[in-house]
Structure 1
Amino acid sequence: MTETAEQAVQFVAMARKSFPALSSMRGSGGPAAAAVRSAAPMASHFLRRRGEDLLMKAVQVETEAGLANVREIAKVEGLDMVFFAPVELAASAPRGQEAGLLLALETAEAEVKRAKKLLGGMLVPGRSAEMMFAAGYDLVCTTSDVILVRAAAENIVREAKPPATGPKGGLVRFVTSGREAKFARNDETLVTRLKKSRQARALGALVRLGSAAAAELVAASGFEVVVLDHSRGAEDLLGAVALVHAASRAGAHSLMRVPALSQAHLRRALQVGVEGIILPGVESAEEAHALVELCLYPSRNLRDDSHAAEARLKNQPFRRMDFSFAPPLVEFYGQRVAEFSRRQGEALLIAAQVDSPEGAAHIREIVKVEGIDMIFVDAMRLSGADVERIETAAKKHHRLLGGLLVPGCHVEDMYRAGYKLVCAASDHGLLAEGAKACLKAERPVE
């Protein structure tokens, strides 16, 4: 996601550093390398320059800011290609302004060709690959591995399962998969389970070790919610997929506590398949609103505005674009934008974590933000008065209450105070406690 020429310059500089000098190459200490250096003093420079020539350096433009600065970006020395991502461009545009992106994209394409840089991108809605090549594109990505896998799987299922209304439809009855049954009943997701009953409660645990086995053991032990803690742990988004699946196998819901309000991280976190997002350090209504907007990527519609969003999607030039290769939840692969956005709005838990006196001071404005489901409390830096203020505001505006277990309190105390979700442990804490208990039981008393 490149938005400025400065970012492009930094990228090119890092790419050049990826080709070390001859002295740091494998085998450079041997007699052959010494002979090369003595016979040809410029050999190191030649090899490094040759490596730079072989590596194509491309930046991806996927936001309005990047589109506006494409002329300066294309002029960066050492940059080979500018790659456009129309789906991300559509998602970054303000509501109702998606139509102007196609014209702006054509202007940006001309700027890239004028700078004599290679032009690449994903297939633009309304264009064929031939049209894009004729327009000057050097590289066109027409599909993705997920779309290819899904299409092949659908073909096999279509051949194996006869239509229900056909002549063979009544001969075989297929069972409903667990995943289909889960989403056929809307009350199976965490947010709806907590909202549908005043008595509904959930016990959670933070996962920081990055171990799928640990996540499954924690969930199988009786914790209903597993929170992937990316705000402090050493986890990565690729490894999070295995953790989500492990928690699901044990029957637990999975949430993710993200490190910051970042479009790039949030967008990819939602693709992992978690049922909710917790953003730490929320201190204003503006930050809470930005969280909701990013969580409802790419259609950017609030829950109460789904019909208007579907109407807008039918009238915008990107309406024929299949967003299914990058859905907010993995269960929604293959769904169209309006459909999975509507279901996502109903199924996704969006939580704003208040953990500072500044956030507590603005809690009355934060709880009024449409789309925030839960106020998540981390009381480590809060006074008793701050915590009470947060709890009162959340209850008054009918927001769910969640939080980390307050030191000195019991889980039952927090449930009685109105908390719906209490994270009472972490996987590394449980491991440490288990090790201490084992040593205490096995080590002889001196």
Structure 2
Amino acid sequence: MSVTFKERIARHEELVGALVRLPSELLIDLAGFAELDFVLIDLEHGPGDTIPLQAHLAQAHSQGLATLVRIDPSEPQNVLRALDLGATGIIFPHVSTVEQAQHAVRLAHYPPLGARGFATYSRAGRYGQASTSEHLANMAERTCVFVMIEDTEGVASAAGIMAVEGVDGVMVGPADLGVSMGGRPADDPEVRSLLRQVHAVSKAQGKAVLSIVGNRAAARSAFADGSELVVYNTQQVMMQAFLDLADVKSGRGTNVNRA
């Protein structure tokens, strides 16, 4: 039996992924041919919908890529839809309390851990081929839940949030965290200090840390700082590439340094 993505996370392997918020199956295909480990499909800040999401997940599956879906917290039904379509796991933005983390787990998991609506006729259930017991066991073994801590309340509650059964890891949103601190930039020293504080709490509880980066140097730095997963912001990477190409014509200095 092959090792699941959830098991790889628990083993603290270093895993590299691509954040996709532009609706394009080609980006998923490229990530597969590049032999990345996973893709993160963004339904919070990207224009994703159920039909293109299904196509993206199917493409990722064909390439052997694990799939995390960041949902729009205002549309919690997307949790069920994404998992039924075959997503490996869910990322929940703006988790500030233990209760919100528990709610995320309830949405993502079947009983007894959660309260996800049950169906085997979905893509995740191999369109009805999986038995009830097989599907329950498969989802329990494979479904991953990451929470995003993005404000000072979440930082203060990090220990309780990360102790919630069913939470596999954390992703800190430095941009939102900075805004919650009065509009500070993501690279502000105090913002970075709180980010490292959350990471330390997560590591102490054996939970994984996922970091978003914009280039290889930042990825190496994130791994060196203890992240198990890094995800490249492909939109940022592409924008930087286009700006670099434009420099050939204009000669102007350009730099994009936003994750």
The TM tier, using the shorter chain, reads 0.7 to 0.9
Among 318, 324, 341, the residue aligned to 2:136: 341
Could you tell me how far 1:331 is from its partner in structure 2?
4.4
Q: Which has the higher contact order (CA 8 A, sep 6+)?
A: 2
Could you tell me how far 1:225 is from its partner in structure 2?
1.6
2: distance between equivalents of 1:431 and 1:262?
A: 29
Query: TM-score, normalized by length of structure 2?
Result: 0.81
Could you tell me how far 1:285 is from its partner in structure 2?
0.8
Please name the residue that 2:5 is paired with. 190
Counterpart secondary structure, 1:370: coil
Q: Is the 8 A contact 1:354 1:376 kept in 2?
A: yes
Please name the residue that 2:182 is paired with. none
**1:225 equivalent in alignment to 2:38:** yes
1:189-242 CA-to-partner distances (Å, cap 9, x unmatched) read 21112223x4x1111221111111122123323432211000100011111111
Counterpart secondary structure, 1:293: helix
1: distance between equivalents of 2:86 and 2:97?
A: 27
Please name the residue that 2:188 is paired with. none
2: distance between equivalents of 1:354 and 1:445?
A: 40
Matches within 5 A, 1:25-40: none
Q: Is the 8 A contact 1:273 1:331 kept in 2?
A: no
Counterpart secondary structure, 2:120: helix
More helix by share: 1
Counterpart secondary structure, 1:410: helix
Q: How many residues align?
A: 237
Q: Is the 8 A contact 2:85 2:122 kept in 1?
A: no
Please name the residue that 1:355 is paired with. 150
Change in Cα spacing, 1:389 to 1:439, as seen in structure 2 (3 Å) is closer
Change in Cα spacing, 1:257 to 1:444, as seen in structure 2 (3 Å) is closer
Change in Cα spacing, 1:332 to 1:341, as seen in structure 2 (3 Å) is farther
Change in Cα spacing, 1:332 to 1:351, as seen in structure 2 (3 Å) is farther
Larger gyration radius, structure 1 or structure 2: 1
Matches within 5 A, 1:46-445: 184-185=1-2, 187=3, 189-196=4-11, 198=12, 200-260=13-73, 262-297=75-110, 300-302=111-113, 323-326=119-122, 329-331=124-126, 333-380=128-175, 381-382=177-178, 383-405=191-213, 410-426=218-234, 428-441=235-248, 443=249
2: distance between equivalents of 1:261 and 1:364?
A: 25
2: distance between equivalents of 1:210 and 1:250?
A: 17
Q: Is the 8 A contact 2:121 2:127 kept in 1?
A: no
Letter in 2 for 1:205: A
Could you tell me how far 1:371 is from its partner in structure 2?
0.6
Change in Cα spacing, 1:376 to 1:212, as seen in structure 2 (3 Å) is same
Counterpart secondary structure, 1:324: coil
Change in Cα spacing, 1:436 to 1:406, as seen in structure 2 (3 Å) is closer
2: distance between equivalents of 1:221 and 1:434?
A: 17
